[in-house]
Amino acid sequence: MLNFHRATKSPFIVNPYPYFNYNPQTLNYAIFRKNGGILDKYTKIRYTNMLDAQLDAIYSAMKRIGYGDVQIMIGETGWPTQAEPGQAGVSPDYAASYINGLISKVSSGRGTPLMPGRRFETYIFALFNENLKPGPIAERNWGLFRPDFSPMYNALGIMKGQVGTTKHQANQHY
């Protein structure tokens, strides 16, 4: 597959989700908030956000098998605004921290510790909440917007209007 990407000069599309790997102790690290970082014992690099660590892990594996020149694209990533009761780190505020940090990170042109200066074309999951989707509560609440087009939170200060959810809105089906 990586040979195909090299030959066609197309990016390898990955879906890094720090949400699926965080715990209460690594929450700030996962959502781009100030933290002490985590030292990678193999590279001796101190990572200050989980996305960089995930992208560098992918790059390291690709480089090891001879494909370090293939570009990486983020096909989807995001953070839910609601989850099971009592789950730490899930709210519109936490989702806004992740999305705002993500946009700042990928638009900065800084790259990652192992890929300095690299830019990553990035797509946010998801545009809308999926209130009728089966499964855990979080699976229905990744959207930047509710189905009625009102924003879930104010991403980068550009999403105007009433943000957040009320108990009534969270339980509505559209």
| Residue 172 pLDDT exceeds 80 | no
What's the pLDDT at 167? 41
What's the pLDDT at 156? 76
Reported confidence tier of residue 164, pLDDT bands at 50, 70, 90? low
| Residue 2 pLDDT exceeds 70 | yes
Among 115, 89, 72, 102, which residue's Cα sits nearest to residue 21? 89
Out of 44, 63, 105, 130, pick the active-site residue. Answer: 130
Q: How far is CA 43 from CA 46, 53, 57, 153, in A?
A: 9, 11, 10, 37
* Distance between CA atoms of residues 51 and 61, nearest Å: 16
* pLDDT above 90 as % of the chain: 84
* Residue 139 annotated to the active site: yes
pTM for this predicted structure: 0.90
What's the pLDDT at 131? 87
Of 131 and 72, which is predicted with more confidence? 72
Out of 34, 41, 44, 76, pick the active-site residue. Answer: 76
26-52 average pLDDT score: 98
* Residue 84 annotated to the active site: no
| Residue 75 pLDDT exceeds 90 | yes
What's the pLDDT at 165? 46
CA angle 42, 13, 34 (to 5 degrees): 50
29 contact partners, CB below 8 Å, separation of at least 6: 22, 35, 37, 38, 47, 48, 49, 50
Q: In this structure, what are the phi and psi dihedrals at residue 92, rounded to the nearest 5 degrees?
A: -60, -35
| Residue 139 pLDDT exceeds 70 | yes
* Residue 76 annotated to the active site: yes
What's the pLDDT at 166? 41
| Residue 160 pLDDT exceeds 90 | no
**Positive or negative, the Cα torsion across 124, 128, 129, 135?**
negative
Reported confidence tier of residue 143, pLDDT bands at 50, 70, 90? very high
With the CA atoms of 165, 170, 173 and 174 taken in that order, what torsion angle do they form, in degrees rounded to the nearest 10?
10
**Lowest mean per-residue pLDDT among 9-13, 118-122, 137-141, 169-173:** 169-173
DSSP annotation of 172 reads: -
Reported confidence tier of residue 161, pLDDT bands at 50, 70, 90? low
Among 101, 141, 136, which residue's Cα sits nearest to residue 122? 101
